Amino acid sequence: MSEIIEINDLSLPELLPYRTTAEIQLLHFYEPEPGIFIAESPKVIRRALAAGYEPISMLLERKYIEGQASDIINGIGDIPIYTADSEVLTSITGFKLTQGALCAMRRKPMPDISDILKNASRIAVLEDIMNQTNIGAIFRSAAALGIDAVLLTKACSDPLYRRSVRVSMGTVFQIPWCYLKADDTISEIKDMGFSAAAMALRNDTVSIDDPKLMSEKKLAIILGTEGTGLKETTINNCDHTIKIPMSHGVDSLNVAAASAVAFWQLGRHK
């Protein structure tokens, strides 16, 4: 049974993960071993636990102990549960908790790219996307709309940062992902048998419902950062350049919105 610990200040060293605002510190918490991330809200915590992530401790608004988080506490094992009123928790974390629950968890070792792509036919590749909200939204769409895995370049924001996890509603725990190793993103994808489709606006761009795309047995959808989009070298090395048909003179969507449309069209033809 977990121990319930009442708190009223910031002094406990065990609370460091919850009061750390620079998440890069949590990433390197156990270096060279994988670090820590924070799961926020009961739904997200449940999904992380179901995916096999190891809990370290929880920080809960008092009313959640017998309320929305009671099932988590009963099944989480022997870890400390820190609790206080909402005002105290806000002073500790620096923000108002989403649904009153946080859980510090150990990260897993990064999987090998060959393992997560072994049985994949539709994948997303994110190039240098730094916005955490966009990362989370893309993962949620990928999980919902038939994408088998997500690959990220090294410059992308970490999918396990708190905001990305929250926006994804915990789907970052449900869909396989890893960072690409090579600087030449497209070559690494093609070496594993995937055709690459860059979402970009060029003269040779084809619609996302083009029959050539539908006939690809293994397809990687390449998405770039807001503003600048994909690198020119990335686009040049892809097999297809694709676009979403639009009206009223609109030429592009937010990358998260664009990903959802592309995933729906291309994911359902696996």
Domain boundaries, the chain: 3-106, 113-267
Question: Mean of the pLDDT values across residues 224-238?
Answer: 89
Question: Is it the case that residue 84 has pLDDT exceeding 90?
Answer: no
Question: Mean of the pLDDT values across residues 60-72?
Answer: 84
pTM exceeding the 0.85 threshold for the entire prediction = yes
| Nearest by Cα to 83 from 73, 95, 94, 71 | 73
Q: Tell me how far CA of residue 179 lies from CA of 64, 116, 125, 147, in angstroms.
A: 36, 11, 9, 16
Question: Mean of the pLDDT values across residues 149-165?
Answer: 94
Do residues 242 and 98 make contact, with C-beta atoms less than 8 angstroms apart?
A: no
Q: Which two tokens stand for residue 208?
A: 């996302």
Q: Which fold has domain 3-106?
A: 60s Ribosomal Protein L30; Chain: A; (3.30.1330)
pLDDT above 90 coverage of the chain, percent: 52
Which pLDDT belongs to residue 205?
A: 86
As a residue count, the chain comes to: 270
Question: Mean of the pLDDT values across residues 61-88?
Answer: 84
Question: Structurally, what CATH architecture does the domain formed by 113-267 represent?
Answer: 3-Layer(aba) Sandwich (3.40)
Question: Is it the case that residue 21 has pLDDT exceeding 80?
Answer: no
